[in-house]
Every structure is written in C-alpha cells, then in structure tokens.
C-alpha cells in the first residue's frame, strides 16, 4: 500500500515534463486548437484512476513516435479504475509532426479538463481521447463542432465543384480521404477504431450535414465524435499536405521530434533514479 503514492508521483512527473512541449513554438498550423470537451464526472486526486490515467497519457505520447494511431486500455483493481484511450494523427502527417502534435494535445488535457474522468481534444492534425467508460469501436455521430465561413457571394460554379468533391469523398473508401481540384479542396477522416461500415456511415452523415449547414460558405468544418469532413474554396484553407515538406520546416519538426524523444528518455532516467532513492529510503527505514 505504501508504494502507490510513489508510483503516482513518478507517472505524474512524466506528464508534467511532457507538458513543457506546450511552450515550444509551433512549427505549423498542425497544432492549432479546434475543440475540446470534458466529462462532468471527476476523479479523486491521488486515486488509482489518476495513476492509470497518467500511465495512459504517457503511453499515447510514446506510441505517437512510431504510429499514427493507437488505442489503449489500462486495467485497474476495480472496474471504476479502468481507463480507455486513443489518439490519431491525420494520415498524411509525417511521423515527427505526429509525435509533436499528440504531445501538445496531451499537454492541453490537464488544464482543459482538470480531474475529469473523460476528455477529448482535437487539434488541426491530431486527436486524443480518454474515458472511464469504453468508447473503443463504438460509432458516435454526435456533432461536437461545426463552423462555416462567410458566403462571400454565391458562386454557382464553385459550389458545384464543392458538391462534386464532397460526393467523391462520400464514396466508399479508406478512413482518410482527400479530394478536390484547383481552389476547391476537401478532407475527411474517421477515428481508427471504427469498422469500414461504421466509418462510411459516419462520413456520409458528416458530409450531408456539412453541405446542408454551410450552404455557399467559402469553407466548412463538420466534426462528429468519431469522424470529420472539411472543405475549402477560393484558398480559404489548405488541407492536403504531402509527406515531404520544405526542408526548413522539416528540419524544425525533426528538432522538435528530437526534443520529444530526449524528454521521454529523461523521464525514464528520472523514474529510475527516484525509484532507486525510494528503495534506499525503505531499507534505511527498516
């Protein structure tokens, strides 16, 4: 029983160190905040759930250094202590940018949702969510954020091309879809835990709502709980980003990625050192 507080402290230290990534200047719009949400249920500070949550968040950041999507379940001694979580990066994002984006998203969660048993955050290029109730593999088409740009005068030709682009994205395909031509661009993506059928159903609904609610707007964003669809006309936004980017920004992202890995290595050494001190203290106490 006496080891639990120390374990909580060690894991919390790792999350607090990762939070300094929030102060690293963003190298692109990939880290732009889009929305966040918190559950009403709160956990008790110092509880087993808090320890499990900190372990989960650390796992999300670690995994994002080599994978664009992953899900985790951290088991507890009681059902109330179990925490479920996942993260996902936009599929065209290079690995260093993905790791940086997820680290930033995780750093936002504590100040955004203090002691909440469930939270979700969407940045421009990545998404993270955790909860004490399982949501993995569950389709959810609830609208969590939608935004329409100004109409800026109705251009029938441009809107016709917008509608054709959305129709193309609505056709059955993979979980990540990019389309458009010239000044009309669109992007859509499902969260990786959905089946192909669930993904198609979610994206169809997102694009239906997007077209209906944004009308002749120059850009539109429709984020459902498990998928999103976005479009841009007349250069209002740019979504399609190739994996190879300008050498300067790529160099910057690699530097930030190196900082992420360096911090993770530092956290591991700090945990080992603190554990060593705790063991020595325990022996002296005997």
> What does the DSSP assignment read for 74-96?
E--SSGGG-EEEEEEE-TTS-HH
Q: Is residue 103 part of a domain?
A: yes
Tell me: do 123 and 160 sit in the same domain: no
Residue 263 lies in a domain: no
Write the CATH number for 110: 3.30.430.20
Instruction: Indicate if 114 and 219 belong to the same structural domain.
Output: no
- 127 and 170 co-located in one domain: no
Is residue 257 in some structural domain?
Answer: no
Could you read off the pLDDT of 146-188 as tens digits, one per residue?
999 988 766 788 889 999 999 999 999 999 999 987 889 999 9
- For residue 254, the model assigns a pLDDT of 43
Domain stop point among 111, 136, 161: 136
- What pLDDT is recorded for position 280? 60
Which range is least confidently modeled, 1-15, 98-112, 156-170?
Answer: 1-15
Domain that holds residue 213: 143-233
Indicate whether 168 and 125 sit together in one domain. no
For residue 248, CA distances in Å to 31, 44, 89 come to 18, 45, 22
pLDDT tier for residue 213 given thresholds of 50, 70 and 90: very high
List CB contacts of 18: < 8 A, sequence separation 6 or more.
57, 58, 61, 103, 106, 107, 263, 264, 267
7 belongs to a structural domain: yes
Rounded to an integer, what distance in angstroms lies between the CA atom of residue 215 and that of residue 247?
A: 38
Same domain, 47 and 130: yes
pTM comes to 0.74
Number of domains in the chain: 2
Tell me the pLDDT band of 239, cut-offs 50, 70 and 90: low
Out of 95, 114, 136, pick the residue that ends a domain. Answer: 136
Q: Which of 29-33, 103-107, 140-144 has the lowest mean pLDDT?
A: 29-33
What the block records as the tokens of 209 is: 């709502």
**Same domain for 128 and 69:** yes
In this predicted structure, the answer to whether residue 247 has a pLDDT above a threshold of 60 is no
Same domain, 132 and 28: yes
Exposed (0-12), middle (13-18) or buried (19+): which is 236, by Cβ within 10 Å?
Answer: middle
Whether 70 and 167 share a structural domain: no
Average pLDDT over residues 44-50: 95
Q: Which of 233, 259, 275 is the last residue of a domain?
A: 233
Would residue 239 count as lying in a domain?
A: no
- Is the domain of 103 the same as that of 184? no
pLDDT at 273 > cutoff 90:
no
Whether 131 and 8 map to the same domain: the answer is yes
* Residue 154 maps to a domain: yes
């Amino acid at each position: 029983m006496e080891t639990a507080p120390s374990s909580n402290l060690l894991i919390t230290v790792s999350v607090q160190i990762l939070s300094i990534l929030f102060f690293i200047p963003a190298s692109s719009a990939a880290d732009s905040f889009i929305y966040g949400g918190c559950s009403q249920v709160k956990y008790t500070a110092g509880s087993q759930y808090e320890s499990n949550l900190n372990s989960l968040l650390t796992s999300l950041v670690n995994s994002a250094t080599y994978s664009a999507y992953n899900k985790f379940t951290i088991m507890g001694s009681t059902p109330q202590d179990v925490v479920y979580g996942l993260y996902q990066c936009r599929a065209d994002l290079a690995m260093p940018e993905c790791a940086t984006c997820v680290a930033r998203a995780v750093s936002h969660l504590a100040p955004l949702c203090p002691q909440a048993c469930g939270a979700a955050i969407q940045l421009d290029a990545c998404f993270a969510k955790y909860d004490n109730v399982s949501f993995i593999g569950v389709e959810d088409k609830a609208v969590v954020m939608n935004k329409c740009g100004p109409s800026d005068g109705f251009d029938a030709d441009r809107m016709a091309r917008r509608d054709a682009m959305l129709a193309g994205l609505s056709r059955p395909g993979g979980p990540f879809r990019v389309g458009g031509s010239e000044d009309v661009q669109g992007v859509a993506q499902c969260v990786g835990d959905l089946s192909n059928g669930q993904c198609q159903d979610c994206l169809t609904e997102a694009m239906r709502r997007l077209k209906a609610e944004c009308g002749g707007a120059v850009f539109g964003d429709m984020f459902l709980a498990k998928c999103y669809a976005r479009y841009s006309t007349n250069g209002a936004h740019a979504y399609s980003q190739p994996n190879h980017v300008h050498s300067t920004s790529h160099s910057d992202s690699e530097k930030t990625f190196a900082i992420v890995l360096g911090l993770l290595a530092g956290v591991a050494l700090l945990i080992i050192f603190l554990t060593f001190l705790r063991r020595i203290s325990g022996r002296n106490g005997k």
